[in-house]
């Protein structure tokens, strides 16, 4: 069983999203990016196409596809723009999936139809100003049960999709007590947008991902009903570990898209641009550079396909997901740097997509676990000491 070919339906999904990205995203994204605007119109159209419900069963308003279908869509969107891709990634992998996976019937019925149609967006509040991948140790946010109400206090940061006009809920992790072994008990709680005590900060000014919505959140005696607990009390850590493993595959897909988008742009440019009396694509120095870019995109794609295949087969895939994320984000950063070089001075101009790719690539080596964290996880999987 070695086969990385897509079946006809996956191929058609990929082609459809590719066409959407070229026809609808590419013409408008440059201006939106300059103005740092959230792409509401694109999100609405993506919702109509069912992209936000791709891996969710039809009975909950989804498309009945799987996580790999989502990854294919992310790659094709990422090939044209990362902000749009990451809005979808966070909306599905961090917004809808935890509700689908861990929610009870009432929570699913309340939130999933809107999340799947893209009418509302979900966010996941894990990272805090003083703690990222060092959870649970670094986590400070607390939730205390007061009768039948959770009272949440703390700060979350870098939270994608948390402050749009259509944000419906933010799922936050919080310390809800102490376990018998003395370690903190972590749980996950749904905080509907607009809940008193939840303050969404100003949009954060970022180096890239300009059209993606990112905020710091303050939770100040924020009260939500006890039934907003998502899944079992004390299972929050296990829940988000799984969400992170899967999220790494999704980020790898976005990264492969960016890496491939760099190849696309270079191929177009080197045929048109003349230097020393010929098209610059005739120079071996640039041919080799572009060949290397294609190699990186291709090998990274195989890595995320493999991780996704293991995930869908229900097999352990921590190692594969980390490898895919590491290889793909490196491919994105390396290709963005090379593509910018191929474009010369125009690569430094915002009117060409490669400049946007360059700015967007860096975060891929940071979000969902830095490259260093991926290496650490891979080393652990190899049995090296923690």
Active site residues: 368
Q: Which CB sits closer to another protein, 19 or 278?
A: 19
Query: Using CA atoms, how far apart are residues 274 and 276, in angstroms rounded to an integer?
Result: 7
Strand ranges (E), 35-166: 121-125, 142-146, 149-160
The reply to whether 52 sits near another protein by the rule CB under 8 A is no
The answer to whether residue 363 forms part of the interface with another protein (CB under 8 A) is no
Q: Give the SS3 label for residue 164.
A: coil
Kindly indicate which of the ranges 15-23, 183-191, 322-330, 365-373 contains the residues binding another protein, using the contact rule CB under 8 A. Answer: 15-23
DSSP 139: -
Q: How many residues bind another protein (CB under 8 A)?
A: 18
Q: 34, 58, 134, 372: which one contacts another protein (CB under 8 A)?
A: 58
Q: Which of 25, 63, 311, 339 binds another protein (CB under 8 A)?
A: 63
- Residue from 6, 30, 64, 149 that binds another protein (CB under 8 A)? 64
Distance in Å, CB of 49 to another protein, minimum: 5
Sorted by sequence, the CB contacts under 8 Å of residue 376 that are 6+ apart come out as: none
Which of 25, 32, 43, 54 is in the footprint of another protein by CB under 8 A?
54
d(CA 27, CA 24): 6
Is residue 19 a contact point for another protein (CB under 8 A)? yes
Q: Does 115 bind another protein (CB under 8 A)?
A: no
Smallest CA-to-CA distance from 381 within 304, 325, 322 is with 322
57 in contact with another protein (CB under 8 A): no
Cβ atoms of 204 and 214 closer than 8 Å? yes
- Binding segment for another protein among 13-21, 130-138, 239-247, 375-383 (CB under 8 A)? 13-21
Based on the shown chain and the rule CB under 8 A, indicate whether residue 16 belongs to the binding site for another protein: yes
| CB proximity list for 121: less than 8 A, separation 6 or greater | 43, 87, 90, 91, 95, 115, 161, 164, 166, 167, 168
Q: Select from 194, 215, 212 the least CA-distant residue to 203.
A: 215
383 binds another protein (CB under 8 A): no
Window 22-51: residues binding another protein (CB under 8 A):
45, 48-51
- Which residues, other chains included, contact 356 with Cβ-Cβ below 8 Å and sequence gap of 6+? 29, 30, 33, 81, 82, 208, 350
Question: Contact 162/213 with Cβ under 8 angstroms?
Answer: yes
Q: Which residue lies nearer to another protein by CB, 23 or 146?
A: 23
Three-state secondary structure along 67-80?
HHHHHHHHHHHHCC
The answer to whether residue 85 forms part of the interface with another protein (CB under 8 A) is: no
Separation between Cα atoms, residue 125 and residue 224, nearest integer Å: 15
Interacting positions 175-194 with another protein (CB under 8 A)? none
Residue 279 interacting with another protein (CB under 8 A): no
Among 12, 41, 104, 227, binds another protein (CB under 8 A): 12
| Residues lying near another protein in the complex (CB under 8 A) | 8-9, 12-13, 16, 19-20, 45, 48-51, 54, 58, 63-65, 69
């Amino acid at each position: 069983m070695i086969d990385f070919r897509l079946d006809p339906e996956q191929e058609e999904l990929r082609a459809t999203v590719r066409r959407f990205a070229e026809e609808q995203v590419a013409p408008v994204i440059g201006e939106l990016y300059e103005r740092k605007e959230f792409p509401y119109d694109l999100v609405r159209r993506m919702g109509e196409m069912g992209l936000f419900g791709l891996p969710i069963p039809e009975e909950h308003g989804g498309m009945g596809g799987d996580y790999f279908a989502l990854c294919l869509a992310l790659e094709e969107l990422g090939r044209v723009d990362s902000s749009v891709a990451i809005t979808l990634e966070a909306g599905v992998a961090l917004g809808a999936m935890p509700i689908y996976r861990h929610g009870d019937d009432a929570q699913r019925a309340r939130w999933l139809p809107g999340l799947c149609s893209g009418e509302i967006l979900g966010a996941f509040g894990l990272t805090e100003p003083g703690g990222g991948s060092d959870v649970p140790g670094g986590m400070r946010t607390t939730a205390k049960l007061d009768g039948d109400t959770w009272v949440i206090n703390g700060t979350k940061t870098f939270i994608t999709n948390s402050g749009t006009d259509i944000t419906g809920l933010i799922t936050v992790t919080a310390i809800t007590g102490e376990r018998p072994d003395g370690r903190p008990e972590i749980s996950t709680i749904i905080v509907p947008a607009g809940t008193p005590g939840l303050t969404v900060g100003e949009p954060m000014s970022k180096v890239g991902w300009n059209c993606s919505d990112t905020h710091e959140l303050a939770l100040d005696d924020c009260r939500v009903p006890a039934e907003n607990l998502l899944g079992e009390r004390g299972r929050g850590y296990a829940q988000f570990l799984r969400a992170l493993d899967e999220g790494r595959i999704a980020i790898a897909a976005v990264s492969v898209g960016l890496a491939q988008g760099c190849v696309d742009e270079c191929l177009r440019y080197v045929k048109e641009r003349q230097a020393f009396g010929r098209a610059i694509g005739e120079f071996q120095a640039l041919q080799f550079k572009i060949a290397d870019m294609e190699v990186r995109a291709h090998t990274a794609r195989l890595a995320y396909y493999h991780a996704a295949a293991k995930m869908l087969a229900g097999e352990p895939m921590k190692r594969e997901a980390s490898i895919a994320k590491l290889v793909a984000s490196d491919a994105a950063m390396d290709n963005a740097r090379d593509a910018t070089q191929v474009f010369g001075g125009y690569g430094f101009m915002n009117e060409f997509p490669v400049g946007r790719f360059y700015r967007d690539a860096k975060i891929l080596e940071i979000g969902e676990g830095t490259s260093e964290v991926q290496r650490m996880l891979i080393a652990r999987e190899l049995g090296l000491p923690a």
